[in-house]
Amino acid sequence: MQLIQVPPVPKSSFNKHRRVSDLLYSQLKHFQHVAAKQGIEIAPALLSEIHTEGGAARYITAVTRAVRERALASKNGTVSAGLRLVTSSPVQIPRGTPVEGLAIAAGADEGDAPGSKS
């Protein structure tokens, strides 16, 4: 098996004071929508800081923690949040499988795809 060398992450890749990209900002707005829909309250100070990488990281941490806690509580039967906790399991690739032979797909069923008729 050929090893792939991955260079170290440069220190400049994260700057807590740098503005977030438009893509990340759009994803954060979607995250806000999901949090509001689930009744998750986030401190207003965190909401006002999502324009920087550091603020976005703190906001994502807070929302993720709240969603996971709700999902765990729902799993234990204490909250009916409409959430479920999904953990990933490592993919086992048989030894000798050529990379070209691997198919990677999203985890949704075909009926879950946007525009599909169920």
For the segment 32-44, what is each residue's pLDDT rounded down to a tens digit? 888 888 788 888 8
Predicted confidence band of residue 86 (pLDDT cuts 50, 70, 90): low
The whole-angstrom distance between residue 18's C-alpha and the CA centroid of its chain comes to 21
Instruction: State if pTM tops 0.75.
Output: no
What angle (nearest 5°) sits at the alpha carbon of residue 87, between those of residues 81 and 91? 155
Rg (CA), the chain: 19
Domain membership of residue 25 (yes or no) is yes
Q: Is the dihedral of CA 24, 28, 34, 40 positive or negative?
A: positive
Average pLDDT rounded to a whole number, residues 16-25? 94
Give the whole-angstrom CA distance, residue 10 versus residue 108.
Answer: 34
pLDDT tens-digit profile of 88-110?
A: 566 666 666 555 544 544 444 44
Number of structural domains in the chain:
1
Domain membership of residue 66 (yes or no) is yes
Domain membership of residue 52 (yes or no) is yes
Domain boundaries, position 23: 14-86
Of 111, 37, 104, 36, the closest CA to residue 47 belongs to 36
Domain membership of residue 18 (yes or no) is yes
